[in-house]
C-alpha cells in the first residue's frame, strides 16, 4: 500500500487563494507579517498588487479589511489563529461581524499542533470566540481537498467567514474527483450504528483510524467530518444521535465553547436519550513539544478517541 499523502491545510489555503485570485479580480489578501507561514505568500507571488502586508498589527488589519469589504472587494485577512481570533477579537466583532461585512478570515496555526512555539501560540479558543459572533461562519477543514474547496465556498458566500487551518501536514482523506463542499453540511465518511464520532480538522483522520480500532472490538462507529462548526449541521447530528445514541466529539480546541458544546446544545434541546463525550483540550493550556507528541499527550489521537468511544459502550 502506498504511503498516504500529507499536506498542511495552510498550504491548501495559499494554493486556493492563488487559484481564486486568477479568477476574481476583487479578491485581495491582507497579512500581518506572517505571509510565509500563513502561505498567503503563495498568492503574493502571483498577485503582488493585491497582497497587502499590514505589519504586526492584527487589530488594524481586521478593520482595514472591513473598510475594503465595504467598497465591494473580497478581502481575505490572515494571521495565526491566536492573533486573528484572539488579539483581534474585538475588531472582528465590531468592524466585521456587527456590520456583517464580506471579510474572510484565514487563520492558520490553530490548535495545539502548533507544537514547539508553546501555549502562547496554541490557540484552542478560536471556535468559541468566533462562534459567539452573530452571522459568523466558522469552519475547519480536515484535509487538503476539503480546505481548498472551503476557501472557494468562503469566497462565494456573502458575509463574514472564519476558517481555521493547521500548521502540520495531515493525511489527505478525500478524493479530489467528484468532491463537493457546502457550508453548513457535514459529511458521513464511514457509516456505523453503535457510536458516532463527530470530528473536525485534523481529528477527522484520527476519528477514521479510531473507527478502525473500534471495528476490531466489534463496535460499529460512524465517522462524521464536521467541517462547518457554525452553522452546525443539526440534522446530521440529530440523525447520528437517533441512530447511535452515543456521540463522541473530536476537536483540537478547548472542550469549552467549541464543536463539542455545539453538539451538546443541539442534542440536549432535542431531548434525545443520547450520551455525549467531548474529546478536546481540557480546561488547560498547552506547552512546547513536537506536534505529534503533543497531540498524543493531550489525547487528540485515534487511540484516545477509541478509548473514549469504547468506554461509552458500557
Partner 1 sequence: MTEKEKKLLKIAACKIRMGVIEGTHAAKAGHPGGSLSAADLFAYLYFKELNVDPAEPKKPDRDRFVLSKGHTAPGLYAALALRGFFPWEDLLSLRQIGSHLQGHPNMNLTPGVDMSTGSLGQGVSAACGMALAAKVQGKDCRVYTLLGDGEIQEGQVWEALMFAHHYKLDDLCVIIDNNGLQIDGPVDQVMSPYPIPEKLRAFGFETAEIDGHDFEQLEAAFNRVRETKGVPFAIVMKTVKGKGVSYMENQAGWHGKAPNDEEYAQAMAELQAALAELEAE
Query: Which positions touch partner 1 (CB under 8 A)?
Result: 28, 49-50, 52, 54-55, 57, 59-60, 62-73, 75, 90-91, 94-95, 98-100
Q: How far apart are CA 173 and CA 180, in angstroms?
A: 14
The set of residues, in sequence order, having a beta carbon less than 8 Å from that of 273 and lying 6+ positions away, is 245
Least Cβ distance, residue 50 to partner 1 (angstroms): 7
Distances (CA, A) of 130 to 3, 20, 148, 182, 227: 36, 24, 21, 19, 15
Nearer to partner 1, 72 or 218 (CB): 72
Least Cβ distance, residue 49 to partner 1 (angstroms): 8
The most distant pair of C-alpha atoms in the chain lies apart, rounded to whole Å, by 60
Nearer to partner 1, 46 or 264 (CB): 46
Distances (CA, A) of 283 to 24, 48, 214, 275, 288: 42, 42, 27, 21, 17
Q: Is 269 an annotated catalytic residue?
A: no
For 127, counting Cβ atoms within 10 Å of its Cβ (0-12 exposed, 13-18 middle, 19+ buried), the class is buried
Residue with grid cell 510565509, as numbered in its chain: 36
Nearer to partner 1, 60 or 220 (CB): 60
Question: Of the residues 3, 11, 23, 58, which is catalytic?
Answer: 58
Q: How far apart are CA 207 and CA 224, in angstroms?
A: 9
Nearer to partner 1, 89 or 181 (CB): 89
Nearer to partner 1, 59 or 299 (CB): 59
For residue 46, what is its C-alpha cell?
502571483
In the sheet where 104-108 sits, what is the strand order?
Answer: 51-53, 27-31, 74-80, 104-108, 161-164, 137-139, 228-230
Least Cβ distance, residue 148 to partner 1 (angstroms): 25
Least Cβ distance, residue 20 to partner 1 (angstroms): 16
Least Cβ distance, residue 104 to partner 1 (angstroms): 14
- Catalytically annotated residues: 58
Amino acid at each position: 500500500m502506498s504511503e498516504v499523502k500529507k499536506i498542511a491545510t495552510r498550504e491548501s489555503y495559499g494554493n486556493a487563494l492563488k487559484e481564486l485570485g486568477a479568477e476574481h479580480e476583487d479578491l485581495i489578501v491582507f497579512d500581518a507579517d506572517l505571509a510565509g507561514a500563513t502561505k498567503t505568500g503563495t498568492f503574493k507571488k502571483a498577485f503582488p498588487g493585491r497582497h497587502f502586508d499590514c505589519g504586526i498589527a492584527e487589530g488594524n488589519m481586521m478593520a482595514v479589511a472591513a473598510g475594503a469589504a465595504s467598497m465591494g472587494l473580497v478581502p481575505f485577512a490572515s494571521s495565526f489563529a491566536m492573533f486573528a481570533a484572539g488579539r483581534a477579537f474585538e475588531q472582528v466583532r465590531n468592524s466585521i461581524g456587527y456590520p456583517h461585512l464580506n471579510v474572510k478570515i484565514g487563520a492558520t496555526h490553530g490548535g495545539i499542533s502548533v507544537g514547539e512555539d508553546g501555549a502562547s501560540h496554541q490557540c484552542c479558543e478560536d471556535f468559541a470566540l468566533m462562534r459567539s459572533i452573530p452571522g459568523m461562519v466558522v469552519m475547519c477543514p480536515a484535509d487538503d481537498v476539503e480546505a481548498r474547496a472551503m476557501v472557494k465556498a468562503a469566497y462565494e458566500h456573502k458575509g463574514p467567514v472564519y476558517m481555521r487551518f493547521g500548521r502540520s501536514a495531515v493525511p489527505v482523506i478525500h478524493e479530489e474527483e467528484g468532491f463537493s463542499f457546502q457550508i453548513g453540511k457535514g459529511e458521513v465518511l464511514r457509516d456505523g450504528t453503535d457510536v458516532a464520532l463527530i470530528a473536525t480538522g485534523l481529528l477527522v483522520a484520527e476519528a477514521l483510524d479510531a473507527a478502525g480500532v473500534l471495528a476490531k472490538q466489534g463496535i460499529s462507529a460512524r465517522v462524521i467530518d464536521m467541517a462547518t462548526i457554525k452553522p452546525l449541521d443539526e440534522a446530521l447530528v440529530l440523525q447520528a444521535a437517533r441512530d447511535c445514541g452515543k456521540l463522541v466529539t473530536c476537536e483540537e480546541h478547548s472542550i469549552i465553547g467549541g464543536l463539542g458544546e455545539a453538539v451538546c446544545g443541539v442534542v440536549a434541546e432535542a431531548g434525545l436519550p443520547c450520551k455525549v463525550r467531548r474529546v478536546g483540550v481540557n480546561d488547560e493550556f498547552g506547552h512546547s513539544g513536537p506536534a505529534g507528541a503533543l497531540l498524543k499527550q493531550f489525547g487528540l489521537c485515534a487511540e484516545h478517541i477509541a478509548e473514549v468511544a469504547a468506554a461509552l459502550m458500557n
